[in-house]
């Protein structure tokens, strides 16, 4: 097995920054679920240089090294990791297709509405023109989650991991009354692999902040 390296930011503002929500967490979580060894490396938050943009043309994190193979986009990294372990995705054609479908639904049906909605909220739009769109997507998902425990293949997959991470954003969780979705997020984020990934990310950013304030 080739060496896995997850790339994230060297530092984010504490305590009001995105610590606990930086998307390297998705990759840490997937590696913990699969039992993969991995290391974490960083690029500077300030002054995105050519090295960062060469790896991620939109200036974001995370990105992943899998030996010589290099990937960006958390969704692509998750599907790549899922191809390496049945713990993240069944590899039979029907199970893989269903996992793929729900992974893309998390990215392109739910997060496509939730992230821009959240962005308008935090940048202070007086009326958020995406509220109806977000509501309709969350309602569609709630109807699905009322009927089943897992999104795909009757078992935990990387699609549950990603959807729970999308829904975990606090503003989205406070938005409307959707008990099946709430229970889903609670159940999926109670997994030891999530707790380990979350604690490790928090430790990373707390240590970085302590070092910065000393320096």
Q: Which of 13, 125, 179, 212 binds a second copy (CB under 8 A)?
A: 125
Residue 94 binds to a second copy (criterion: CB under 8 A): yes
Alpha helices in the chain (DSSP H): 24-34, 50-55, 74-82, 93-105, 111-122, 131-145, 158-167, 170-173, 179-189, 192-214
CB of 54 to a second copy, least distance (A): 10
Stretch that binds a second copy, among 30-38, 97-105, 169-177, 189-197 (CB under 8 A): 97-105
Build a one-symbol-per-residue string for 149-188: x at contacts with a second copy by CB under 8 A, - elsewhere: ----------------------------------------
Contact in structure between 61 and 24 (CB atoms under 8 Å): yes
The closest alpha carbon to 172, from 120, 102, 132, 115, belongs to 115
Residue 47 binds to a second copy (criterion: CB under 8 A): no
Contact in structure between 193 and 201 (CB atoms under 8 Å): no
CA distance 172 to 129: 15
The site for a second copy (CB under 8 A) is made up of 53, 57-60, 66, 68-69, 71-73, 75-76, 79-80, 93-94, 97-98, 100-101, 103-105, 107-109, 111-113, 115-117, 119-120, 123, 125, 129-130, 133, 136-137, 140-141, 143-144
């Amino acid at each position: 097995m080739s060496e896995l390296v997850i790339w994230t930011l060297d530092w984010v503002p504490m305590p009001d920054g995105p610590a606990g929500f930086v998307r390297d967490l998705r990759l840490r979580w997937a590696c913990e679920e699969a039992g993969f060894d991995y290391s974490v490396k960083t690029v500077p938050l300030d002054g995105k240089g050519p090295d960062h943009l060469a790896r991620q043309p939109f200036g974001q994190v995370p990105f992943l090294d899998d030996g010589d193979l290099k990937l960006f986009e958390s969704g692509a990294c998750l599907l790549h990791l899922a191809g390496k372990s049945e713990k993240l995705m069944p590899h039979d054609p029907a199970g893989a297709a269903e996992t793929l479908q729900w992974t893309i639904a998390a990215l392109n049906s739910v997060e496509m509405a939730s992230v821009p909605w959240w962005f308008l909220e935090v940048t202070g739009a007086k009326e958020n023109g995406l509220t109806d769109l977000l509501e309709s997507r969350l309602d569609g998902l709630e109807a699905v989650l009322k009927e089943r425990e897992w999104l795909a293949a009757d078992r935990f997959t990387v699609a549950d991991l990603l959807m729970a991470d999308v829904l975990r954003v606090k503003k989205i969780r406070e938005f409307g009354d959707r008990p099946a979705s709430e229970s889903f997020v609670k159940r999926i984020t109670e997994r030891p692999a999530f707790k380990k990934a979350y604690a490790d990310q928090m430790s990373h950013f707390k240590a970085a902040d302590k070092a910065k304030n000393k320096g």
